[in-house]
């Protein structure tokens, strides 16, 4: 029912909510899946940011977000963590939106809802 109502929506928040609800309902009655808490995501982002700092190539962070607010909050937490490290001083997280920026998604979340969390290196920040 959720998919029938919101899958055709062109509103980003509705598509993110629909995906989050579908994920939660799919977990019912199935084996427990690994829960990736915020600290794990931040550690992964720091590792990716080190690669981005060195290579200059944009990368995405695979996350399980339950809405746009969660993606934005993760971006802020990752930004704060990266600013404390000298080795990732020019890398910044940002939210990629397929509809407004174009390009192709790099993560499952990006393919499902059209937005994802990415890291890019900037000359100066």
Residue with the larger pLDDT of the pair 28 and 30: 28
DSSP 8-state class, residue 107:
S
Whether the per-residue pLDDT at 48 is higher than 70: the answer is yes
Please say whether the beta carbons of 59 and 118 come within 8 A.
Answer: yes
Per-domain residue ranges for the chain? 35-121
- Can you say whether residue 102 is alpha, beta or left, with left for phi > 0 and alpha for psi between -120 and 50 degrees? left
The token pair at 120 is 């890019």
pLDDT of 88-120, one tens digit each? 889 999 999 988 888 899 999 999 889 999 999
Determine what percent of the chain falls in helix, strand and coil, rounding each to the nearest 5: 55, 15, 30
């Amino acid at each position: 029912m959720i998919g029938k109502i919101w899958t055709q929506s062109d509103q980003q928040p509705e598509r993110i909510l629909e995906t989050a609800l579908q994920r939660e309902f799919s977990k019912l009655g199935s084996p427990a899946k690994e829960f990736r808490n915020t600290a794990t995501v931040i550690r992964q982002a720091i590792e990716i940011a080190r690669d981005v700092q060195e290579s200059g190539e944009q990368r995405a962070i695979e996350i399980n977000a339950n809405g746009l607010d969660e993606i934005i909050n993760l971006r802020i937490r990752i930004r704060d963590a990266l600013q404390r490290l000298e080795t990732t001083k020019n890398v910044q997280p940002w939210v990629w939106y397929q509809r407004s920026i174009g390009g192709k998604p790099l993560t499952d979340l990006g393919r499902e809802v059209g937005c994802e969390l990415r890291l890019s290196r900037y000359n100066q920040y």
